[in-house]
Structure 1
Amino acid sequence: MTPPLQNNEELADLQSQALDRMRRLVSGAATVADVEDIRRWQAQSSQHAEAFAFASRLWGQLGPAGENVLARSDERLPASAPPPYRPTRRLLIGGALAASAAYVVVRPPLQLWPSMSELAADYRTSAGEQKSVKLVDGASMELNTRTSVSLARSDAANSIELIDGEALINTGRQLTSPLTVIAGNGRVSATGARFNVRYDGMLSCVTCIEGAVEISRLGVRHQLEAPQQYTYGDQGPGASAMADLSAVTAWQDGLLMFHQTPLAKVVAEINRYRPGKIVLMNARLGERTVNARFRVQNVDEIMTLAQQVFGAKVTSLPGGLVILS
């Protein structure tokens, strides 16, 4: 049985170590080796596991900006705060604590840091970053912010897996076999086409921009031609619609376009492009609709709009944390 910590100084030091590891996870540069190091660190004792749970909760409530506030004000972390989860003696038997710690790392709560599959991706972009990738036979893809993509491991398979995020695919005209993009439980195949694919871990959205694409999902095939769009989740039928191609592809030109979009959804989208976090505290305010366009480099203009148009109160804190109420 692990001896208890002797005083609050020791607990504060352990929590500080946990936050250092949390910063590494959310930095955008974390590696599989970093994840393994954190798994081993948590497995050292129940106090280590509880400290990491504390850091996860703190980061989930305030984001990186909140920890920056504490760091800049030179305040100590509240050592007396009880962790949301305290392992029982049964869980400590036979290495179960180490297994639970590994689970937290593999399946991060609230998407606070990249998952193991994202860390193992062939290509990743961080917040606000975009990247161009050349594929085989003239095909290419443009990766939007916070996107992770893995390439097929077999030479016989011409496929890509969109683990998370958004990508615009251009198959070019030289492919002799279809290029396939896996997004959620669907497979999008095409030759001689351009299409946009977005996947957030729950919903997938495929938009045909040029040519035609075929979506295979749950044993059913769907044909899309420009400017059709198909949205689907893990279960149930998907939904087809006509897409506004200028809005779908605006991110390639460094723009975000919103038409009759609830402010809550606008804030969620803008949070993908900026460090820190915008926190919407007023549910009724979140229902107000927005018609606007923002440059990716100036997404913080949403605060000015919310204040001047909707009368929102804007509270800015260090580290990019903004409260809208």
Structure 2
Amino acid sequence: MSEQHKSNLSVIEQEAIAWIQKLASGHASADDIAGADRWRTQDAEHSKAYADAERVWERMSVIGRVKYGDDANFLGPLQEYGRRRAVMTRRAVLGAGVASIGAATIYGAMRPPLGLWPSLSEMRADFRTGTGEQRTIAFADDVEIALNTQTSLAVWPPTDTEDRIELVSGEAAFATLKRVSRTLAVFAADGKILSQSSRFEIRCTGGNNRVSVTCLEGQLRVESAARVAELKAGQRFSYEGSDVSAIDAVDPQAVSEWRRGIVTFHNTPLAEAVEEMNRYRPGRIILRGDALGRRLLSGRFRTDQMEQALVQIEYTFKSRVTRYPGGIVVLS
């Protein structure tokens, strides 16, 4: 990384890049992995810097490999981009620093374009479910957590008053109804959810940092970068950096349908529906054509029978379905 790029990054951002580089080098030891986890779980600022560095690493390495080849060095193209823009945001500068490492070094350690294997953070999580898998775990003796498909949780060191865990990605339901003296703190992207006696669900999917928090019973406190929200049963709040939603009313039964093995689409753009289907189905469904992606899908399907959804899509939209080995399906 050039000195010019370093000067635009905070110390924490530089350290996050260094940890990602070490873990993706192929030479990381068990001590290195443990050290990265200790660094990442110090607080929300370290966790966010780590997630930002990893996310930019993954995206830029995929784009650069396709555009510039295996031996590409992305620093040149990004510097040219920087000259065309008068001002680069901090996130863009972070991307330049991370992306200056060659794609060949990183590619095997991150998520490929089709999303066929988990990212570094997901692979190093303490608890993880695979595609189509759901499981329930006990945490800190009196907390029950149900993990939906493709969900990763990382345990953080506890404090004097909090048991702490991070939703790295995916969707999970938490029950803390027996808690009295200690608080459960769940970190998700750049926010924090606090609970003592409640049932709630958190969702963070789709390859971005959009987090949706739903209170099913009791009360919750959600601390995001832009706002603190107090939730009661039947309320939902979403955040992504400084972008937050209003607190809206939801049907708790509908929110929790995944726990009964059901996924429902109601006038859902097909592009969004396909992304949800890919969470439950081995392989990958690839959608070709923006017009097709904007078509609206409605239906109620079992999560273990996504092939029925494909049949409905084929007949409803008169689309062409082409199947390839490994569960790859192209809709056009």
Instruction: State if a TM-score over 0.5 links the two structures.
Output: yes
**Among candidates 287, 311, 319, match of residue 304 of structure 1:** 311
Paired residue type of 1:129: E
Aligned partner of 2:121 in structure 1 is: 117
Q: Tell me: CA distance 1:250–1:38, structure 2 relative to 1, closer, same or farther (3 Å).
A: farther
Amino acid at match of 1:240: I
Q: What SS does the corresponding residue of 2:117 show, helix, strand or coil?
A: coil
The reply to whether residue 184 of structure 1 matches residue 169 of structure 2 is: no
Instruction: Give the counterpart of 1:277 among 284, 288, 291.
Output: 284
**Is contact 2:226-2:244 (8 Å) kept?**
no
Summarize the alignment of residues 1-325 of structure 1 with structure 2, pairs less than 5 Å apart. Answer: 37=26, 84-87=69-72, 100=102, 102-104=105-107, 108=111, 110=113, 111=115, 113-154=117-158, 156=160, 157-200=162-205, 201-218=208-225, 220-325=227-332
Tell me which of the two structures has the higher relative contact order, counting C-alpha pairs closer than 8 angstroms and 6 or more residues apart. 1
RMSD: 3.3
- The one-character-per-residue Cα deviations of 1:72-131 (angstroms, maximum 9, x if unpaired) are xxxxxxxxxx9624347x99xxxx999545554565454553232222211011111111
Contact kept, 8 Å, 1:230 with 1:240, in 2: the verdict is yes
Distance 1:109 1:275, change over 3 A: closer
C-alpha separation in 2, matches of 1:139 and 1:275: 30
Who is 2:79 aligned against?
Answer: none
Q: Deviations over 1:230-281 (max 9, x none)?
A: 1111233334322232221111011111112111111100001111111111
Letter in 1 for 2:187: I
The residue identity in structure 2 corresponding to 1:153 is P
Partner Cα distance (2:228, 2:311) in 1 = 45
Q: Deviations over 1:49-81 (max 9, x none)?
A: xxxx9xx97xx99xxxxxxxxxxxxxxxxxxxx
Amino acid at match of 1:258: F
Measure, in 2, the Cα distance between the counterparts of 1:98 and 1:203. 27
Task: In structure 2, give the amino acid aligned to 1:216.
Answer: E
Q: How far apart are residue 154 of structure 1 and its match?
A: 3.1
Which one-letter code corresponds to 1:164 in the other structure? S
Q: CA, structure 1 residues 87+277, in 2 after alignment: closer, same or farther (shift >3 Å)?
A: closer
Q: Is the 8 A contact 2:226 2:241 kept in 1?
A: no
1:145 aligned partner, one-letter code: T
Q: Which runs of 5+ in 1 are unaligned?
A: 1-33, 41-52, 62-81
Cα pair 1:39 1:105 within 8 Å, conserved: no
- Give the distance between the partners of 1:273 and 1:172, measured in 2 at CA: 29
> Which structure has the greater CA radius of gyration?
1
| Cα distance in 2 for residues equivalent to 1:98 and 1:219 | 31
Structure 2 contact 157–163 (Cα < 8 Å) conserved: no
In 1, Cα distance between equivalents of 2:159 and 2:223: 21
Q: Secondary structure at the match of 1:202?
A: coil
Rounded Cα–Cα distance in structure 2 between residues aligned with 1:135 and 1:167: 13
Preserved contact between residue 254 and residue 295 of structure 1 (Cα < 8 Å) = yes
CA contact (8 A) 1:279 1:321 kept: yes
Q: Distance in 1 between matches of 2:221 and 2:309?
A: 37
Letter in 2 for 1:146: Q
**What CA deviation, in whole Å up to 9, does each residue of 1:32-61 have, x standing for no partner?**
xx9664889xxxxxxxxxxxx9xx97xx99
Shift of 1:146: 0.7
Identity of aligned residues (%): 33
8 Å contact from structure 2 (residues 176, 195) kept in 1? yes
